[in-house]
Amino acid sequence: MLPRRGAPEAPQRGAKAVHEHTALLRELHRTMLLIRRFEEAAAKAYSQGRIGGFLHLYIGQEASAVGALSALGPEDYIVGTYRDHGLALARGMSARACMAELYGKATGCSRGMGGSMHFFDASRKMMGGYGIVGGHVPLAAGMAFASKYRKEKGVTLCFLGEGAVSIGDFHEALSLAALWHLPLVVVVENNEYAMGTPLERTLSVADVSLKALAYGMARDRFRADDVLTVREHFQTAVQRAREESLPTLLEVQTYRYRGHSMSDPGKYRTAEEVEARKRNDCVHRAELVLQEWGVTEEELQAVGRSVEAEVEDAVRFAEESPEPSEELIEALTYA
């Protein structure tokens, strides 16, 4: 039987509504699957030595970024951490530009200057992935501030891990966002491990959303197994930011299947724990719901093939793309 925990019912109002609901989930499912296959290909390329540096995979957490970003419009800003591939793809950045960035190529989304941790796309208001834990949260407050200053309706979404809530920048940014009523949604993706240290060894409270209380901020806390549920929670927070210009702290309870980065063998947790979490896998869950709503096995297989083709194309594109030129080294330092 289908695991129903938290999964929304398909609306019963009529065939058109059911169709729209199914169409939305099909789209979100495809994006989640794209992120997963993209990162599996990236991991392979990394182990072959084609990608350098750090590679922090998002596999297992896809429903968080995909559900969240489906609640946004083109006027909204997104700021992320070094674990930013999922956000980038969920924002509609091409697999080609993302894979080429991992390969350090001139065609990459940051022209090969950023790498895995620093994906940017100005045209989509993807304001970057940042590598200093917590240091990007004040930037996000600044983008929200700018929207409010210009009397625009844009909202800023800022992603971080639960390991980032102990550092000062996180608290200073929340303090300012609450004080100045900024249209900011701060998203703590709690995957239970700050690198390899479990939450209970680094935090005095298990409920990370409690951090909002001292700032008088709205908060929410939910599991990210079902992408449509994630979307609904985000819609509420985004609406609060957009309509009332008030910030929210969201805790998204999730789990990453891979290590903190590719160099992490994950010995701090048991194989049984990881397997248990995979039973609530967000991609699989979306497929079960789609099938219940009438999507056929063959249609899902076709989606899988199309995603795999897109990723293969991205890898080929990255491999064939040129290296960035030496002139960029100094040219990009100053405007």
Residues in the site for another protein, rule: CB under 8 A?
Answer: 77, 79, 108-114, 118, 120-122, 127-128, 130-132, 135-143, 145-147, 149-150, 168-169, 172-173, 175-176, 179, 328, 331-335
Judged by beta carbon, residue 13 or residue 150, the one nearer another protein is 150
Determine the residue type at 85: H
Judged by beta carbon, residue 45 or residue 126, the one nearer another protein is 126
Contact indicator for 185, 234 with CB cutoff of 8 Å: yes
**Alpha-carbon distance 86 to 93, whole Å?**
10
R_g (Cα) of the chain, nearest Å: 20
Judged by beta carbon, residue 182 or residue 228, the one nearer another protein is 182
**Smallest separation (angstroms) from another protein to the CB of 168:** 6
* Other Cβ atoms closer than 10 A to 321: 19
Contact indicator for 76, 125 with CB cutoff of 8 Å: yes
**Smallest separation (angstroms) from another protein to the CB of 106:** 9
Judged by beta carbon, residue 77 or residue 103, the one nearer another protein is 77
**Smallest separation (angstroms) from another protein to the CB of 126:** 10
Judged by beta carbon, residue 1 or residue 122, the one nearer another protein is 122
C-alpha pair distances (Å), 103 with each of 46, 52, 87: 9, 8, 18
Judged by beta carbon, residue 10 or residue 113, the one nearer another protein is 113
**Alpha-carbon distance 260 to 266, whole Å?**
8
**Smallest separation (angstroms) from another protein to the CB of 285:** 35
- What residue spans of 168-296 are helical by DSSP H? 168-179, 227-244, 271-278, 282-292
**Smallest separation (angstroms) from another protein to the CB of 259:** 24
Query: How do 197-198 and 193-194 pair as beta strands?
Result: antiparallel
* Other Cβ atoms closer than 10 A to 270: 10
Q: Which two tokens stand for residue 267?
A: 């010995």
**Smallest separation (angstroms) from another protein to the CB of 267:** 30
**Alpha-carbon distance 31 to 281, whole Å?**
15
**Alpha-carbon distance 199 to 188, whole Å?**
13
**Alpha-carbon distance 281 to 226, whole Å?**
9
Judged by beta carbon, residue 132 or residue 205, the one nearer another protein is 132
Judged by beta carbon, residue 142 or residue 163, the one nearer another protein is 142
How many alpha carbons lie under 13 Å from residue 207 in its C-beta half-sphere?
8
**Smallest separation (angstroms) from another protein to the CB of 233:** 24
Which of these, 249, 241, 67, 74, lies nearest to 155 by C-alpha position? 241
**Smallest separation (angstroms) from another protein to the CB of 177:** 9
